[in-house]
A and B are shown apart, each in its own frame.
Chain A
Amino acid sequence: MIINHPLLGPRDADEFVHLGDAGLINRPDGLAEGAIEAFHDYLYLRDNPAGLYRELWYHEQGDRSWLVVTRDTTTHEISKVELARDVARSQRRGQ
Chain B
Amino acid sequence: MPEFALAAVSALDGYSQDFDGAVLREVTDLEIVSVAVPIAGQKKLAAKIKSAYGCAVPKPTTTTQSKDGLVRLVSTQADQFLLLFDTATPDGGDKVAAQLNTAGYITDQTDNWAVLRLSGPNSRTALERICPVDLHPDVFALNASARTHMEHLGVLVIRTEADAFLLLSARSSAKSFLHAVVVSVKNVT
| A–B proximity contact (CB within 8 A) | yes
Contact with B along A46-59 (1 / 0, CB 8 A): 00000000000000
Taking CB as reference atom, which chain B residue is nearest A62? Answer: B147
Q: Tell me the A31-68 residues at the B interface (CB within 8 Å).
A: 61-65
Instruction: State in angstroms the CA–CA spacing of A11 and B147 once bound together.
Output: 10
Which residue, of B76, B132, B147, has the highest number of chain A Cβ atoms within 10 A? B147
Kindly list chain B residues whose C-beta atoms are within 8 Å of the C-beta of A9. Answer: 61
Known: A7-B60, A8-B60, A12-B132. A64 touches B77 (CB 8 A): yes
Q: How far is the CA of A63 from the CA of B81 in the complex (A)?
A: 10
Number of interface residues of A (CB under 8 A): 14
Set of chain A residues within 8 Å of B9, measured between Cβ atoms? none
Majority-rule SS of B interface residues: strand
B residues with a Cβ closer than 8 A to A are 60-61, 75-78, 132-133, 146-149, 154
The 5 closest A-B pairs by CB, nearest first: A61-B149, A7-B60, A63-B77, A12-B132, A62-B147
Residues of A within 8 A of B (CB): 7-9, 11-12, 14-15, 61-65, 83, 85
Knowing that A11-B148, A63-B60, A63-B75 are A-B contacts, what are 19 other residue pairs whose CB atoms are under 8 Å apart, sorted by A's residue number? A7-B60, A7-B78, A8-B60, A8-B61, A8-B146, A9-B61, A14-B132, A14-B149, A15-B148, A61-B147, A61-B148, A61-B149, A61-B154, A63-B76, A63-B77, A63-B78, A65-B77, A83-B78, A85-B78
